[in-house]
A and B are shown apart, each in its own frame.
Chain A
Amino acid sequence: DQQVKQNSPSLSVQEGRISILNCDYTNSMFDYFLWYKKYPAEGPTFLISISSIKDKNEDGRFTVFLNKSAKHLSLHIVPSQPGDSAVYFCAASGIGGGADGLTFGKGTHLIIQP
């Protein structure tokens, strides 16, 4: 049973526009959420995170929104740039943090078109 779901396998966005990547979760014990970016044949790199006590966290062009009642979070990238083309993974952890491992979604392949 998938506890973290990214329902869009791929997303195509024009350069300069906003990219919105979505993630849903089912486990109400999840307390901390992260987004990772991954290029082919490389390890994921940390992008941005949000604690359940917040509903928004911003870092430069990247903003993550959390809607706890809907068990939904989204990553906004504004403006989208060619280098943003990658697979984006949503991940979640419980109250203890990711000490016993993070739970990942299947990823969304973001393609930025010129």
Chain B
Amino acid sequence: DAGVIQSPRHEVTEMGQEVTLRCKPISGHNSLFWYRQTMMRGLELLIYFNNNVPIDDSGMPEDRFSAKMPNASFSTLKIQPSEPRDSAVYFCASTLPRGEQFFGPGTRLTVL
């Protein structure tokens, strides 16, 4: 298996633009997590899905952030409109029940 796949790996955009980050979990994994990492705040859990259903989105910063998981093999994290403070590395992770989390390589987002 190729592991968790994220795209793009790098994204540079201007303030106010819409940003869409994509994640393909490992086949057969039923839980998917979106994290954000910055030097100041560390690794923060934004939202997680179980069997494609959002379970806890309390970590989503504000209404500008939204996440979807239309099927078991794909999820998106959208920021609209983006702001400079959204600059961070965004990780997606997937897991089996009671299993370890497998992280993707991350998307480095820079909002100018």
A, B: real partners: no
